[in-house]
Amino acid sequence: MNVGASRESDEIIAMIMKLTEMPEVISFAGGLPDGELFPIEEMKKVTKEVLESDGRNALQYSTTQGIRELREVIAEQIMKEAGVDTTADNLVITCGSQQALEFSGRLFLDEGDVVICESPSYLGAITAFQPYGPKFVEVKMDEHGMDMVDLEEKLRNNPNTKFIYTVPDFQNPTGITLIVERRKRMVELAEKYDVMILEDNPYGNLLFEGERLPAIKSFDKNERVIYHGTFSKIFCPGLRIGWVCAAEEIVNKYLLIKQSVDLQTNTMAQKETALYMNMYDIKDNVNKIKEVYKRRRDLMVKTLKEELPESCSYTNPAGGLFIWVTLPEELDASKVLEKAMEYRVGFVPGIAFYPNGGHRNNFRLNFSSMKDELIVEGVKRLGQVLRSF
């Protein structure tokens, strides 16, 4: 099987790896949650309790689908908050949402099938689908998310589309959120053109202002939508707990895959996550995270406004971890990155997020993992770099 298709983004990733090893660099290239916000004291209590009350089961093999108590709290708390009425039987626990993406690629895609996605789209999803050899068809976005007219045209012109892949809330990389009317419309179009929707929603809970929009899956009447969730941005990414929510018939197909590729997800991590959700209110943790990230977004947007040349624009996301910067057409973000490295500041050039390449004048900034003063200093350096072009 084809592994690690060579793309220009591989070079960029290499450049970014180099960046992380350079001293005194301020890197906005990552996508890490801030580790200082992890609930370590709570985790100490939780792990002690799990080992004391249920150690033998916590350290033993467990079911492929994931332990029931975890699936129950996900259904009752997280999915409900996303507006999705579901049950533990509709969930499979995965090793993070990256594994959910890989499973979806494996389940639906064969050489030459079409994946329709936002332009730009999430790099990890592109990487997960690519080994199965699909053609990516990108749909235009505006500030309200995927353009539904363009989506319908792409669906009409690509009869072997298997699914629409979308990150509707505070998308990675743009920070853009898909508005409600378009969520409904997307489900209608999926029905009309007989395709599935993969709704990838790692950031939905990290809403800084306004009201949370119901998940696309909440409008799903005929089991067209497969929802991918994760605890990585609202709890602890190192535990690698994600999930798929879908019709039972589809869940059974994911189980066959899970069984053959790694049997099951870490039992202990599942028990810890379930007990944490039952012992504490995860909303308290989410609120703590949101407060810090909101402050950092505000600071980054304010500093971008002050420091970037007027010819540049940027998104102001209502949540999540990322801001998307657009440069004047003639500028190449990869060239800008080379210069930026001299100034000891980094970001991810936008081209990495376009499965078919092109679009050289964008880059992604992360604001979740950086101290306030470094955000200011880093954006100032960026301004200097850009003014030098």
Which residues of the chain form contacts with its own copies (CB under 8 A)? 1, 3-4, 32-33, 35-36, 38, 40, 43-44, 47-48, 51-52, 55-62, 94-96, 98-99, 102, 106-107, 109-110, 124, 127-128, 130-132, 232, 236-240, 253, 256-257, 259-269
- 254's torsion region: left (phi>0), alpha (psi -120 to 50) or beta? alpha
Parallel, antiparallel or unpaired: strands 313-314 and 322-326:
antiparallel
Both tokens of 212, joined, read: 């949370």
Smallest separation (angstroms) from its own copies to the CB of 22: 17
Indicate the residue among 67 and 178 with the shorter CB distance to its own copies: 67
Indicate the residue among 94 and 119 with the shorter CB distance to its own copies: 94
Smallest separation (angstroms) from its own copies to the CB of 113: 10
Q: Who's near 102: CB < 8 A, 6+ residues apart?
A: 128
Smallest separation (angstroms) from its own copies to the CB of 307: 29
| Nearest residue to 387 (alpha-carbon basis) of 331, 329, 344, 349 | 331
Cα separation, 144 vs 150, in Å, equals 13
Indicate the residue among 33 and 378 with the shorter CB distance to its own copies: 33
Indicate the residue among 56 and 221 with the shorter CB distance to its own copies: 56
Smallest separation (angstroms) from its own copies to the CB of 249: 13
| Nearest residue to 94 (alpha-carbon basis) of 236, 259, 225, 233 | 259
Question: At which residue do the structure tokens 């078919």 appear?
Answer: 356
- For residues 25 and 346, the answer to whether their CB atoms sit within 8 Å is yes
Indicate the residue among 29 and 257 with the shorter CB distance to its own copies: 257
Smallest separation (angstroms) from its own copies to the CB of 297: 21
Indicate the residue among 71 and 381 with the shorter CB distance to its own copies: 71
Indicate the residue among 158 and 264 with the shorter CB distance to its own copies: 264
Indicate the residue among 52 and 310 with the shorter CB distance to its own copies: 52
Smallest separation (angstroms) from its own copies to the CB of 242: 9
- Whether residue 173 has a cis bond before it, omega within 30° of 0: yes
b/e burial code for range 200-224 (CB count within 10 A of at least 16 → b)? bbbbbbbbbeeebbbbbbbbbeeeb
Smallest separation (angstroms) from its own copies to the CB of 96: 6
Which helix (H) or strand (E) segment holds residue 198: the answer is: strand 196-200
What angle (nearest 5°) sits at the alpha carbon of residue 295, between those of residues 233 and 167?
40
Smallest separation (angstroms) from its own copies to the CB of 62: 6
Q: Specify the amino acid at residue 87.
A: T
Q: What 3-state class would DSSP assign to 87?
A: coil
- For residues 81 and 212, the answer to whether their CB atoms sit within 8 Å is yes
Q: Who's near 322: CB < 8 A, 6+ residues apart?
A: 31, 170, 171, 172, 173, 174, 175, 364, 365, 366, 367
Q: Specify the amino acid at residue 232.
A: S
Smallest separation (angstroms) from its own copies to the CB of 145: 26
- For residues 94 and 103, the answer to whether their CB atoms sit within 8 Å is yes
Indicate the residue among 126 and 325 with the shorter CB distance to its own copies: 126
- For residues 154 and 176, the answer to whether their CB atoms sit within 8 Å is no
Smallest separation (angstroms) from its own copies to the CB of 157: 25
Indicate the residue among 109 and 327 with the shorter CB distance to its own copies: 109
